[in-house]
């Protein structure tokens, strides 16, 4: 039983909306592939501010959210579905100002340290987020954006859920950064979003997906409910990451030498530890699923840095257990490097075209598995710059959405380095924690 008590719920509309025209935004293959996923759920933890009381915090966040939505009107809209005779549907976003959900809650039995000082993320953290057990396709009737502000006994947590069909992780943090900027008193955004959708063909018609409206409004359409897992945050300092990068590159010969990035070395270090802790057979296949961003890759036509929408696709690396564990850090890192290099502009365009012709909806059931790690988010996102007017956050955590065995969420560290939020079985996480080869590079948990 949760000790989180909801005080109030309200609907936040776009501030000063004077137009009755409901703009329709067509969705791209990059957007539509996430219809069966959960919303993005990320939240920020803050200490109480002695000069700012909870009522003032709630009022400021509501007011600034309304103002911010005027720059992101689709987040106050809903999904719209047009059904066709062949059991397919076309999905778009209607900017009708139906509003975002705002929840005010209290969990005064818990403290900031209950979250940041626990070796494993406490279960109650998932209750600090809205839109739990909601799939993106339910955005027909559910809000595309929801916020839950929960008072703790010495701090508060701002949990945000955004429909993944509307935007990716880059878009999520762009919105959060913008909201914080408005909350601090700005009337304009330093990085206004580019809302126009990116299409290869400007005359492209609405894409049909193999899903009826009836199925879209059924919660849990694919019937997949992941088994509960444990979560732990691992922090790696800048110096430790540099050591891993140097080690990985030193193990590589030929023209690929010195091409391994810091993140590729760190992800491989994690991958090898997870696989080594699972007791798999040497000939078993293990996979690493990476999310590839299109903003830096697409040049003609280009995808703007401030593009608000999805611009990602998935690349998968496969290796035998024996190859990964006996080949050294460099071998696995080189395989990650190769898959990243293969995702050129032309490959991403080819995927885009192919998806439009033959839509394939991603599912967590199909993406994950006991032998697969799935990485999302990026250390480049500005997480700790989200000062709403009472100081920077203490920590970041994610909700239950899209969590399966092997989910890895990557964040920049609060001071330096990188944090991994790792979702695995308790037994695997315990084995990793008792592995000196892995924990030697581990700096501290938040």
Could you give the domains of the chain?
3-217 (3.30.559.10), 228-380+388-438 (3.30.559.10)
- Note the pTM of the prediction, 2 decimals: 0.94
83: buried, middle or exposed (CB in 10 Å: 19+, 13-18, 0-12)?
A: middle
- pLDDT tens figures, 313-346: 999 999 999 999 999 999 999 999 999 999 999 9
What gap in Å lies between CA 136 and CA 69, rounded to an integer? 19
Q: What's the pLDDT score for residue 52?
A: 81
Contact 72, 193 (CB under 8 A): yes
Q: What's the pLDDT score for residue 74?
A: 97
Contact 182, 67 (CB under 8 A): yes
**Is-catalytic flag, 164?**
yes
Using 70 as the pLDDT threshold, list the residues of the chain that sit under it. Answer: 1-2, 17-21, 202-205, 216-226, 255-256, 366-369, 442-446
Catalytic residue among 104, 126, 137, 164: 164
Strand partners, 418: 236, 412
Q: What's the pLDDT score for residue 218?
A: 59
Length of the chain as a residue count? 446
What gap in Å lies between CA 119 and CA 192, rounded to an integer? 39
**Is-catalytic flag, 85?**
no
What gap in Å lies between CA 293 and CA 290, rounded to an integer? 10
Contact 286, 371 (CB under 8 A): yes
Long-range contacts of 356-360 (CB under 8 A, 24+ apart): 356/29, 356/204, 356/207, 359/29, 359/32, 359/33, 359/207, 359/208, 359/209, 359/210, 360/33
> Could you tell me if residue 48 is left (phi over 0), alpha (psi between -120 and 50 degrees) or otherwise beta?
beta
CA atoms within 13 A on the CB side of 265: 25
* β-pairing verdict for 100-106 and 145-151: parallel
Closest CA to 231 of 43, 408, 48, 435: 408
What three-state secondary structure class fits 349? helix
Strand partners, 232: 422
- pLDDT tens figures, 233-283: 999 999 999 999 999 999 988 766 779 999 999 999 999 999 999 999 999
């Amino acid at each position: 039983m949760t000790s989180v008590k909801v005080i109030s719920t309200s609907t936040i509309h776009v501030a000063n909306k004077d137009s009755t025209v409901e703009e329709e935004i067509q969705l791209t293959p990059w957007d539509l592939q996430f219809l069966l996923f959960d919303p993005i759920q990320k939240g920020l933890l803050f200490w109480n501010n002695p000069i700012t009381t909870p009522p003032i915090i709630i009022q400021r966040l509501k007011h600034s959210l309304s103002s911010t939505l005027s720059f992101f009107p689709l987040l106050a809209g809903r999904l719209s579905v047009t059904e066709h005779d062949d059991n397919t549907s076309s999905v778009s976003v209607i900017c009708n100002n139906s509003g975002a959900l705002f929840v005010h809650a209290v969990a005064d039995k818990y403290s900031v340290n209950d979250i940041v000082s626990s070796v494993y993320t406490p279960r109650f953290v998932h209750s600090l987020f809205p839109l739990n057990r909601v799939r993106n396709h339910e955005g027909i009737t559910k809000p595309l954006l929801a916020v839950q502000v929960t008072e703790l006994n010495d701090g508060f947590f701002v949990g945000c859920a955004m429909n993944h069909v509307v935007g990716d992780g880059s878009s999520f943090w762009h919105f959060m950064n913008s909201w914080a900027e408005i909350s601090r008193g700005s009337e304009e955004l330093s990085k206004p979003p580019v809302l126009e959708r990116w299409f290869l063909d400007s005359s492209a018609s609405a894409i049909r997906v193999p899903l009826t409206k009836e199925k879209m409004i059924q919660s849990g359409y694919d019937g997949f409910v992941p088994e509960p897992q444990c979560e732990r945050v691992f922090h790696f300092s800048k110096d430790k990451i540099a050591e891993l990068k140097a080690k990985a590159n030193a193990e590589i010969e030929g023209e690929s030498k010195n091409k391994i990035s810091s993140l590729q070395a760190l992800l491989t270090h994690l991958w090898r530890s997870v696989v080594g802790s699972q007791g798999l057979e040497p000939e078993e296949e293990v996979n690493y699923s990476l999310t590839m961003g299109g903003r830096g890759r697409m040049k003609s036509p280009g995808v703007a840095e401030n593009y608000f929408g999805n611009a990602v696709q998935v690349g998968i690396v496969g290796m035998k257990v024996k190859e990964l564990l006996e080949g050294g850090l460099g071998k696995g890192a080189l395989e990650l490097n190769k898959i990243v290099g293969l995702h050129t502009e032309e490959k991403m365009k080819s995927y885009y075209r192919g998806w439009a012709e033959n839509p394939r909806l991603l599912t967590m059931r199909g993406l994950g598995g006991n032998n697969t790690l799935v990485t999302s988010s990026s250390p480049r996102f500005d997480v700790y710059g989200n000062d709403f007017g009472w100081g920077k956050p203490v920590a970041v955590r994610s909700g239950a959405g899209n969590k399966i065995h092997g989910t890895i969420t990557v964040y920049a560290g609060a001071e330096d380095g990188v944090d991994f939020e790792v979702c695995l079985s308790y037994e695997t996480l315990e084995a990793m924690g008792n592995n000196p080869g892995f924990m030697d590079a581990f700096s501290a948990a938040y």
